[in-house]
């Protein structure tokens, strides 16, 4: 697989300057046009404001790119037919010459291949509700178990089975720490209702864990830094609980299964909270991107 790393990202990695990987699914599939392109530019600008280099990742015409220029960013935001690619889809997309936006698993894999250690996203995938019946679990978890990357996120999507996801991460050997919190965040919510075993209170502490990972030379697993959305910007918990319950009932009534479940539930939340869930999502992503840039700076000594 030929990995196309932008000159700016290549130079920054080579000179050990801070770089932050950004996924592209939020651009192609997570937001309506033209807001998606504006947010993509904004997130890259946030990384630069913190003194780091943004590396938005996508596959274009069968070539994985780490770091996009303006024209490529516009393609991901505006081109019809952009696929959604997990890491399992990468060889198929490369062989077919397809274009696609990368999910958490594909972004983490390509970032690691390019030597980018820090990655910012909104929320991880995880174990779906009623897993014992559906056996539905995000590919994010297994990929992170075998990839040395630091993921700054707002926990896992609150539509998932959060305690089962935390248990699965433990089983897979993926380190999880709350950032300035003893509680695991719930994507739209500051607190999912579940604790975390470890807490980190600054970018330097995160970087120290990353160095310890390398020094111990254990399995090449990820570090998940769970950074809660600020309470004043979270989705109202009572509204979230009510709308999510309605969404789950609608999902079952309409027979939605498999990969269609997550987008169905997220779309239901956006529509039935008058966009409040989307605003909370974007607030979480902005905070994660800013923190990731600071972690990357601490990691590289910038």
Q: State both tokens at 252.
A: 């079952």
| Bond from prior residue into 207 cis (ω within 30 degrees of 0) | no
Spatial distance between the Cα atoms of 147 and 169, rounded to a whole number of angstroms: 13
CA 44 from chain centre, in angstroms, equals 15
**Non-local CB neighbours of 184 within 8 Å, separated by 6+ positions:** 155, 162, 166, 176, 178, 191, 192, 194, 195, 196, 226
Of 7, 8, 23, 233, catalytic: 23
Is 134 in contact with 162 (CB distance < 8 Å)?
A: no
Lookup result for tokens 């291949």: 113
Cα dihedral: 96, 100, 106, 110 (round 10):
80
In whole angstroms, what is the distance from residue 23 CA to residue 108 CA? Answer: 8
Residue 203 to residues 39, 58, 244, 302, Cα–Cα distance (Å): 24, 27, 33, 12
Active-site residue flag, 84:
no
Which entry of 44, 50, 137, 157 is annotated as an active-site residue? Answer: 157
Buried b or exposed e, range 23-34, using 16+ CB within 10 angstroms = bbbbbbbbbeee
Q: Is 70 a catalytic residue?
A: no
Residues with catalytic annotation?
23, 157
């Amino acid at each position: 697989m030929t990995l196309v790393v932008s000159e700016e990202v290549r130079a920054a990695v080579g000179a050990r300057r801070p770089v932050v990987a950004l996924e592209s699914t939020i651009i192609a599939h997570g937001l309506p046009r033209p807001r998606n392109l504006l947010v993509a530019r904004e997130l890259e600008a946030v990384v630069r404001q913190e003194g780091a280099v943004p590396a938005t990742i996508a596959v274009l015409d069968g070539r994985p790119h780490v770091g996009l220029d303006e024209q490529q960013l516009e393609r991901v935001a505006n081109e019809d037919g952009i696929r959604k690619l997990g890491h399992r889809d990468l060889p198929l997309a490369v062989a077919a010459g397809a274009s696609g936006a990368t999910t958490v698993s594909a972004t983490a894999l390509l970032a690691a291949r390019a030597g980018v250690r820090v990655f910012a996203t909104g929320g991880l995938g995880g174990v779906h509700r009623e897993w014992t019946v559906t056996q539905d679990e995000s590919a994010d978890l297994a990929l992170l178990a075998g990839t040395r990357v630091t993921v700054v996120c707002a926990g896992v999507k609150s539509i998932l089975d959060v305690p089962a996801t935390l248990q699965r991460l433990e089983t897979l050997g993926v380190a999880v720490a709350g950032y300035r919190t003893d509680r695991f965040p719930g994507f739209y919510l500051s607190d999912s209702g579940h604790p975390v075993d470890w807490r980190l209170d600054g970018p330097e502490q995160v970087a120290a864990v990353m160095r310890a990972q390398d020094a111990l030379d254990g399995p090449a697993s990820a570090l998940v830094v769970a950074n809660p959305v600020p309470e004043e910007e979270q989705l109202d918990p009572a509204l979230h609980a009510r709308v999510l319950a309605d969404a789950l009932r609608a999902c079952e009534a309409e027979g939605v299964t498999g990969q269609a479940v997550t987008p169905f539930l997220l779309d239901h939340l956006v529509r039935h909270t008058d966009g409040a869930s989307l605003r909370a999502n974007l607030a979480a992503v902005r905070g994660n991107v800013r923190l990731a840039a600071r972690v990357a700076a601490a990691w590289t000594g910038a």
